[in-house]
Structure 1
Amino acid sequence: MHAIVVVTLLIFCTVSSVHPQVFSFSLPVGPGGGESFSLMGEGRITAVRVWERYNNNIVGLQIRYGPIWSPVVGSQSGVGKDLELFDGEAIIQISGKYTSSLQSVVFVTNRSRSLQAGQPRGISFNMYPTSQEAELRFISGQVRNGFTSFGAHWGVVR
C-alpha cells in the first residue's frame, strides 16, 4: 500500500511540473453591492475600453475579443479611453485603487504598454496571473453608480 501511495505521489508531482496551473483568479476588490457582471468572450482579448468621470472614478468598461466587443458594463458617460492590443500582445497585470468604488485602473500588457484611467486615490490593488503563460481572460464583479467589486480571471489561450 505504501508503494502505491509513493508511486501515485511521484506521478502527480511529475504531471504537475509538466502542466503547471494555468488558470487563476484574482480576488475581487471593493465592498461589493449592486448588479453582478462578467465580461467574457471567445478567443484572445484584442482591446479594452474604459470610461472615467472627469477627476473621478471608473464608470464603464468594455472588452473586445477578436473583432467582437462585449456589452458595456456600467456607463458610457465621461471620458472614454481605449487600448488596442497588437498581435500576440496580452494583458498580464491590472492594478489600481478603490474606495467605495473603483477609483483608478491600469491595464498592463506583456509588451510593457498600459492604459490608465481614473484618479489614483484609495486602497491600492495589484492583480496578475499565477502562471507566466497566462493572460487576462475575463473580468467579473458588481456595479452600482461605479464598480463596487472588481476581480480578474487569468488563463492560457490555446
Structure 2
Amino acid sequence: MLSLLFFAVLPISCLAKPTSDFYSYSVAVGSGSGTAFSSEGEGRITAIRVWETSNAYITGIQLQYDFIWSKRVGREVGNAHELILFDGEAIIQVSGKYHSNYIYQVMFVTSRGRALIVGQPIQNSFNFYPVHQGAELKLLSGRFNSNGITSLGAHWGLVSSITTSSTQ
C-alpha cells in the first residue's frame, strides 16, 4: 500500500517546481571597489529612490519593501529621484551605464512599462532582467565608496502573491 501511494504521489511532485528554481542573478558590473552591499527587506519592492551627483554618477540607492524603506546604500546628494509602484507592479528590468569607477546611470523598468531613469547616459551599457517568466527584482547588490556606487548586480525571483496597496 505504501509503495502504491509513493508511485501515485511521485508524478505530481515532479510537476511542482520549488520557488528557488526561479532565482537568477545578473552579474555585477563596475569596478567592484569599496564596501560590499546587499539590499535587505521582506516582501515585494514597492518603491525606489536614487541619488546622483549632478551631471555625473549615481551616489545612492534605497529600496522600499512592502512600505518599509531599507537602509540607504551610498550617500544622499541633492534631491532623491523616486518611483512608487502600483499594486501588483514589479521591477522587471534594470539597465544603465557604467565606467571603470562608478555607475553613471540606472534605469528601473516596471511590469507596467513605467521607468525611473537617473544619471548620465555615458560609457558602457548594462541590461539586467530575470531569466524566468514571472520573476521580478528581489534585491540589489554591489559595492560603494564614500563618493558613490561603484558596482551593481541584480537578484531576481518570485515574490509571494499577497497584494499590497500604495499611495498612487
Task: Determine if contact 2:55/2:120 at 8 Å carries over to the other structure.
Answer: yes
Asked if residue 147 in structure 1 is aligned to residue 145 in structure 2, the reply is no
Per-residue CA deviations over 1:106-136 (Å, capped at 9, x if unaligned) read 0000000000000010100000000111000
Instruction: Show structure 1 runs of 5+ residues with no match.
Output: 1-10
Measure, in 1, the Cα distance between the counterparts of 2:27 and 2:16.
Answer: 26
Task: Determine if contact 2:40/2:71 at 8 Å carries over to the other structure.
Answer: no
Per-residue CA deviations over 1:7-66 (Å, capped at 9, x if unaligned) read xxxx89x94x75383100000000111011111200000000000111111001000001
Task: Determine if contact 1:53/1:79 at 8 Å carries over to the other structure.
Answer: no
Counterpart mapping for 1:12-91 below 5 A = 15=14, 19=17, 21-91=21-91
Q: How many aligned residue pairs are there?
A: 146
Task: Determine if contact 1:40/1:137 at 8 Å carries over to the other structure.
Answer: no
Secondary structure in 2 aligned to 1:79?
Answer: coil
Secondary structure in 1 aligned to 2:22?
Answer: coil
Q: In percent, how many aligned pairs have the same letter?
A: 52
Q: Which position in structure 2 is the counterpart of 1:118?
A: 119
How far off its partner does 1:80 sit? Answer: 1.3
Q: CA RMSD in A?
A: 1.7
User: Structure 1 residues 148-157 or 71-80, which shifts more?
Assistant: 71-80
Structure 1 segments (4+ residues) deviating >3 Å: none
Q: Which position in structure 2 is the counterpart of 1:105?
A: 106
AA in 1 matched with 2:74: G
* TM-score between both structures, scaled by the size of structure 2: 0.82
Measure, in 1, the Cα distance between the counterparts of 2:65 and 2:82.
Answer: 14
Measure, in 1, the Cα distance between the counterparts of 2:107 and 2:67.
Answer: 23
Q: Which position in structure 2 is the counterpart of 1:132?
A: 133
Q: Which position in structure 1 is the counterpart of 2:158?
A: 156
